[in-house]
């Protein structure tokens, strides 16, 4: 049986157990059995991490010594490279990633994103010249300087933990901030490895701290309420995002939120690859647990029956080729937890009650193992006002909605509280682009264009978030702008 290394906290340069010495079991989504142990951090640990990060920001040269920062961030990146296999193990056994998914979204895309951050870092505009302007008889020279925002609390989810941890930690460190990383209770090891390798790389004490525990909310509640934390960078559910914003208000904390989604894929009637575009929407990769997955498929009413037949065949073709942790071909495993499985199954029941037709799947699959397996599932005859079309299920459940024309497709796409991502497929790229520009989301893929990568910004409109991660914009989120001005002589 696989056994992951114990996940330890990293506070003020020390790898340690929780204050009081408690630990908790990390549960494998594949078996439902313990697969490792993690320190069960307490309020005292979180306090110590905040104090250390504050001290490191206020009293060391971390925020001003750019060359040292870049060198250490690169060194840390090398150590992650040397630990690819361990990262893969963590993705499989903590996050439930199938082998065929591990070296895509979970490890490769994450480490590539790290490289992208390093590549775009020189583009950060640390100073901007605003020229001279006369006032009160004198000319005044003005420049803007960009400075790190300070102490950052990075609170992250379990679904693609390495990718999200890198998205926040690397950007904040490059910007010159000090960081407290708080991974989800299910994936502590993917956080702990940052502490372990930062220690090895020789990071100054307090610059990067890692805390976690079995209670999902305790550490986050402390971090969001503490005046010594300058910015909370959060990826997770919209409900918790709202709570963070509310709690951050007391100290007027900057909040940067990457939240949920219910993204569309619109396949237009003129798509020459109609069958392929519809078939490839089957929601199976990582059991549908991705924030930007296209979980609402919109097809023309005139081709709805055809789309149904294509999907029936595509799901049948995918068949039972999922759910085996040792199979390198599998791209779908379990969902993360019993709670998540019950939530997904609850939505499947709801879909039936709402009058949608179950075209494929719909059941739990205990025969796959003791873990949390839900079949690939697709509902047709769905209308956009159903809860299964409006709420984020975060599981392998696709809903298929008919539209009348381009305006109707845009209306349906935008009639959502979310605004994260989406896609449009058409034989006419200009028509597709026109539609893409009308969809109120942070990214849209046109004819399968890759709109998510480490060198371009990613984020949401509406209830999908505030701010942008990745790219130069993702580094600049962790900065403040300060104006400096001085008189240069009498105005003419």
The residue written with tokens 């595509």 in the block is: 314
The binder of ligand NAD chosen from 91, 149, 197, 240 (CB under 6 A): 240
Tokens standing for residue 78: 């090398």
Instruction: Give how many residues touch ligand NAD by CB under 6 A.
Output: 31
For residues 253 to 292, the per-residue mask of contacts with ligand NAD, x marking binding by CB under 6 A and - elsewhere, is -----xxxx-----------------------------x-
For residues 361 to 400, the per-residue mask of contacts with ligand NAD, x marking binding by CB under 6 A and - elsewhere, is -------------------------------x-x------
For ligand NAD, the closer of residues 80 and 394 by Cβ is: 394
For ligand NAD, the closer of residues 257 and 311 by Cβ is: 257
For residues 207 to 226, the per-residue mask of contacts with ligand NAD, x marking binding by CB under 6 A and - elsewhere, is ---------xx--xx--x--
For ligand NAD, the closer of residues 156 and 426 by Cβ is: 156
Smallest distance, Å, CB 58 to ligand NAD? 24
Tokens standing for residue 61: 């040269």
Separation CA 57–CA 206 (nearest Å)? 8
For residues 287 to 306, the per-residue mask of contacts with ligand NAD, x marking binding by CB under 6 A and - elsewhere, is ----x---------------
Active-site residue list: 258, 291
Smallest distance, Å, CB 227 to ligand NAD? 16
**By C-alpha distance, which of 191, 480, 473, 216 is closest to 340?**
216
The binder of ligand NAD chosen from 235, 263, 277, 425 (CB under 6 A): 235
> What residues from 170 to 189 belong to the interface with ligand NAD (CB under 6 A)?
182-185
Q: Which residue is nearest to ligand NAD (CB)?
A: 220
* Strand 34-39 relative to strand 23-27, pairing: antiparallel
Q: Does the footprint of ligand NAD cover residue 243 (CB under 6 A)? A: yes
For ligand NAD, the closer of residues 245 and 491 by Cβ is: 245
Q: Does the footprint of ligand NAD cover residue 236 (CB under 6 A)? A: yes
Smallest distance, Å, CB 258 to ligand NAD? 3
Q: Does the footprint of ligand NAD cover residue 311 (CB under 6 A)? A: no
Q: Does the footprint of ligand NAD cover residue 465 (CB under 6 A)? A: yes
Q: Does the footprint of ligand NAD cover residue 50 (CB under 6 A)? A: no
Smallest distance, Å, CB 199 to ligand NAD? 22
The binder of ligand NAD chosen from 65, 66, 83, 237 (CB under 6 A): 237
Other beta carbons within 10 angstroms of residue 453's beta carbon come to 14
Q: Does the footprint of ligand NAD cover residue 250 (CB under 6 A)? A: no
Tokens standing for residue 452: 């998510």
Provide the binding-site residues for ligand NAD, judged by CB under 6 A: 155-159, 164, 182-185, 216-217, 220-221, 224, 235-237, 240, 243-244, 258-261, 291, 392, 394, 420, 460, 465
């Amino acid at each position: 049986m696989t056994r992951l290394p114990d996940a330890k906290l990293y506070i003020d340069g020390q790898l340690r157990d929780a204050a009081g010495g408690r630990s908790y079991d990390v549960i494998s989504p594949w078996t439902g059995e313990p697969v490792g142990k993690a320190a069960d951090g307490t309020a005292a640990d979180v306090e110590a991490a905040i104090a250390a990060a504050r001290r490191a920001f206020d009293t060391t040269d971390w925020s001003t010594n750019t060359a040292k920062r870049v060198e250490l961030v690169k060194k840390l990146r090398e150590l992650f490279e040397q630990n690819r296999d361990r990262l893969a193990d963590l993705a499989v056994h903590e996050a439930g990633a199938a082998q065929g998914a591990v070296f895509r979204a979970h490890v490769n895309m994450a480490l590539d994103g790290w490289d992208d951050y390093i590549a775009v870092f020189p583009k950060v505009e640390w100073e901007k010249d605003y020229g001279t302007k006369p006032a009160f008889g004198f000319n005044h020279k003005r420049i803007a300087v960009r400075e790190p925002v300070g102490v950052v609390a990075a609170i992250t989810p379990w679904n693609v933990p390495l990718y999200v941890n890198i998205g926040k930690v690397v950007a904040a460190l490059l910007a010159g901030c000090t960081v407290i990383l708080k991974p989800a209770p299910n994936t502590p090891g993917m956080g702990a490895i940052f502490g372990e390798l930062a220690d090895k790389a020789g990071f100054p004490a307090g610059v990067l701290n890692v805390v976690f525990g079995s209670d999902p909310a305790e550490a986050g509640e402390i971090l969001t309420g503490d005046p010594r934390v300058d910015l909370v960078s959060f990826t997770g559910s919209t409900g918790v995002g709202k709570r963070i914003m509310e709690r951050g208000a007391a100290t007027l904390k900057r909040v940067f939120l990457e939240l949920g989604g219910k993204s569309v894929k619109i396949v237009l009637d003129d798509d020459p690859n109609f069958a392929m575009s519809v078939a490839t929407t089957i929601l199976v990769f990582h059991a549908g647990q991705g924030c930007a997955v296209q979980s609402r498929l919109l097809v023309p009413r005139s081709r709805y029956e055809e789309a149904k037949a294509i999907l029936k065949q595509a799901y049948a073709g995918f068949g039972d080729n999922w759910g085996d942790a040792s199979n390198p071909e599998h791209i779908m495993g379990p969902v993360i937890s019993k709670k998540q499985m019950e939530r997904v199954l609850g939505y499947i029941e709801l879909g039936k009650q709402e009058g949608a037709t179950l075209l494929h799947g719909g059941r739990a699959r205990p025969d796959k193992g003791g873990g949390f397996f839900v079949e690939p599932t697709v509902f047709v005859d769905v209308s956009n006002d159903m809860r299964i079309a409006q709420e984020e299920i975060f599981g392998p459940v696709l809903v298929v909605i008919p539209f009348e024309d381009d305006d109707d497709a845009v209306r349906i796409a935008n009639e959502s509280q979310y605004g994260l991502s989406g896609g449009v497929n058409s034989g006419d790229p200009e028509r597709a682009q026109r539609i893409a520009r009308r969809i109120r989301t942070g990214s849209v893929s046109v004819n399968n264009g890759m709109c998510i990568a480490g060198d371009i910004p990613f984020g949401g409109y509406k209830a999908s978030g505030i701010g942008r991660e990745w790219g130069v914009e993702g580094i600049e989120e962790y900065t403040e702008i300060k104006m400096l001005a001085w008189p240069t002589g009498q105005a003419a």
